[in-house]
Structure 1
C-alpha cells in the first residue's frame, strides 16, 4: 500500500459521503492560491469534526489554529443558529484569508477569529467558557499548554481533540528531539495520566499521509 492508494480511497470516501460545495472548495482554492501551507484537514476529517460537534450538541467551540478557516467552516456549520466558534490564529495573513473564506460561506456571525499567539489570547477567553468542544491543531510544541487551557475552559462532557499525533510514526521515536514531537508526546502522556479525562487515539492514512488524532472527553 502507498500514499497514492490512500489518497484514492480518501477521494472515494469524499465523493460518496462528503460532497464539497462551493464555499468549501473555494476555501481550499483560496488557501492554495495564497501560498498557505497545504495542511488543511482532509474533507473526511472535516466532516468528522462536523459530526462530532453535532453528536455532542455543541453550541460553543474553541479552535486553536485557524490556518485558512477550512476546518472552521466545518465546525461552524455544525452549530445551531446561536452557536459560536472562537478560533485562534497566530499569523495575521492567515487570519485575513480565513476571514474571507468564512464570509464567503455565510458564517461570519458564528465565528470570531482572534489574532496573535494562542498562549496570549487564551487567557482572555474566561468569559466565553465553558466550551463544548475544543479542537487543538496549532504548533505541537505548545500542545501541553493548550491542553491545560482546554481543561480550564471545559465542563463535564466537553470533547477535546488533538490533531496530527502520529506524524508518520515518529511519535514513537523517543530519540527524536524535534520540539513538536516532544510536545505531542508530553501532551499524550498528560492526557493519559489525567483522571479528569477518558481518551483514545486513532491512526489515519489518506491524502495527508500517515497521521492520527487523539480524542478525550472530560468526565
Structure 2
C-alpha cells in the first residue's frame, strides 16, 4: 500500500449504531443536568426559529468543557458565537484567570449571549469581538500561545480561519471544527455550496502535516486536531 492509499474497512465490518431520535435522547440523558442558565439559553435560542439549528447540543457543549479542562486551557479562541452556548461551555473549562476570545457579526444574537454569560457569572472570562472574524484573528498576537480553538462559523471561510489560527496555537494545543459532515452532504464528491466548502476543508486538514486529526460523528461532525510539537 502506498502512502497515498487509505486503508478503509467495508461498512458492514465497522462498529456503528444507527442514529435515531431515541438514541439521541438517550445520549443527552447521560449529560449532567443543565443549569438554569443553560436551559433558559436553549429556550431563548429555540424561539429564534430555524436559526436554532446552529446551536450545539448539550452533549457537545459538555465535550468542549471537558476538552478545555483536560488540557488546562488558559487562552481559547472561538470563531462563531451565535447565542453563546458554546462560549459558555468553553468558559466553564478554563483555568483560573483564563480567557475566551469569541468572534461574531451579530449584535442581536450576541446580546442574548451576553445576558447568559453575565447570569452564569463568567462574563469576565469572555471577550466578544464583533466584526469580520478574519480581521480579529489577524489582530491577535502572532505568537503560538492559544491553547484551544473552536471554529463554528461561515463554512466557506473555514480554510482561511484554519490558516490564521494554526500558527497561533501552541504545540499540543487543540483545534476543533464543527459541522464537518454538513448534514451528511459532505460525503458527496458532487457536493455544492457549503457542503463543498466543508469537503474541501476536511481534505485540507487531512493533508496538513502540522497537525494530527480525527473527524468524529458527534452531532453534525466534529474535527479534533492536535498541533504537533
Normalising by structure 1, report the TM-score.
0.89
Deviations 1:63-103 (A, max 9, x none): 10000000111110111220110100111211211111111
Most deviating of 142-151 and 15-24? 15-24
Partners of 1:46 and 1:189 in 2: how far apart?
25
Answer yes or no: is the 8 Å Cα contact 1:61–1:85 preserved in 2: yes
Partners of 1:13 and 1:185 in 2: how far apart?
27
Q: CA RMSD in A?
A: 2.0
The alpha-carbon deviation at position 124 of structure 1 amounts to 1.5
Partners of 2:112 and 2:144 in 1: how far apart?
26
The count of residues paired between Structure 1 and Structure 2 equals 211
- The yes-or-no answer on 1:175 pairing with 2:190 is yes
Answer yes or no: is the 8 Å Cα contact 1:10–1:44 preserved in 2: no
Normalising by structure 2, report the TM-score.
0.85
Question: Structure 2: which 5+ runs fail to align?
Answer: 1-17
- The yes-or-no answer on 1:199 pairing with 2:213 is yes
Deviations 1:144-198 (A, max 9, x none): 00100111211101100111111232112122221x2222122112211111110
**Residue 26 of structure 1, aligned match among 30, 35, 40:** 40
Answer yes or no: is the 8 Å Cα contact 2:65–2:90 preserved in 1: yes
Alpha carbons of 1:129 and 1:31: their partners in 2 closer, same or farther (altered >3 Å)?
Answer: farther
Answer yes or no: is the 8 Å Cα contact 1:92–1:116 preserved in 2: no
